[in-house]
Amino acid sequence: MDDQSNNKENKSKNENEIPAEEKKTADTLNELNVKISQLENEKNELKDSLLRKVAEFENYKRRSENEQLNLIKYAAESFIIKILTVVDDLERTLAHLEESENSKSIAEGINLVYEKFIRILKEQGVTPLEAIGKPFNVDFHEAILQRKDSSVEPHTVLDEIQKGYIYKDRVIRHAQVIVSEDSELQSTEQDSDNSAENIS
């Protein structure tokens, strides 16, 4: 009898212990699943951060390469700007010499130098801007004066005070120009002049 009762007690004790172990195992599994989920999130965040850093580095590398190419491409720009003042002086000298008949041979010699100089500049990628007769464009021209001229459209370049130049694909000096006045401005001025005459 005692053996039977002991067996029953042991069996009952074992049955009570099994659910407790299962609960403990389930809790451990839940904790592990939470930890795995956290690690997965951290891994994804690190991966995204790494991809962003790689993209930023590629952009930086591309910008640096472009800046270096531009430095090489436009390396002589400041030198050429200085040379253009010499071109201006030669042009002014030629213009004055043409007025004097005695200086014809001198003018021809200076003109040869000027043409050679312009040719060298052209070989380096420097070309003068065409301005006279063109519509005024702030990308190429700098308006110094306005003048009335009914024979052309308003905002047309009438004369050039100083030539502009392009170096390769960049404007390095805007042309200083005289531009025709707006026709509305001209008519307004005429109307005000007429009104003044009528009053007087």
Residue-level pLDDT at 175: 95
CB 180 within 8 A of CB 155: yes
Pairing status of strand 175-180 against strand 157-162: antiparallel
* Rounded Cα distance, 51 and 43, in Å: 12
Residue-level pLDDT at 93: 78
Residue-level pLDDT at 117: 84
Structure tokens at 15: 């049955």
pTM: 0.53
| Each residue's pLDDT expressed in tens, for the chain with a length of 200 residues | 455 555 555 555 555 555 667 777 777 888 888 888 899 989 989 998 999 999 999 998 899 888 888 888 888 888 888 888 888 888 877 777 766 666 677 777 788 888 888 888 888 889 999 999 999 999 999 999 999 988 889 999 999 999 999 998 899 999 999 999 886 554 555 555 555 455 54
Q: Which residues contact 170 (CB under 8 A, 6 or more apart)?
A: 74, 77
One-letter amino acid of 176: Q
Residue-level pLDDT at 166: 94
Residue-level pLDDT at 100: 65
Structure tokens at 70: 């531009």
Other C-beta atoms closer than 10 Å to the C-beta of 164 total 20
Residue-level pLDDT at 114: 85
One-letter amino acid of 184: E
Cα distances (angstroms) measured from residue 137 to each of 22, 129, 155: 85, 11, 9
Structure tokens at 129: 């801007």
Residue-level pLDDT at 131: 93
User: Which 8-state DSSP code applies to residue 134?
Assistant: S
Residue-level pLDDT at 200: 47
Structure tokens at 160: 């050039």
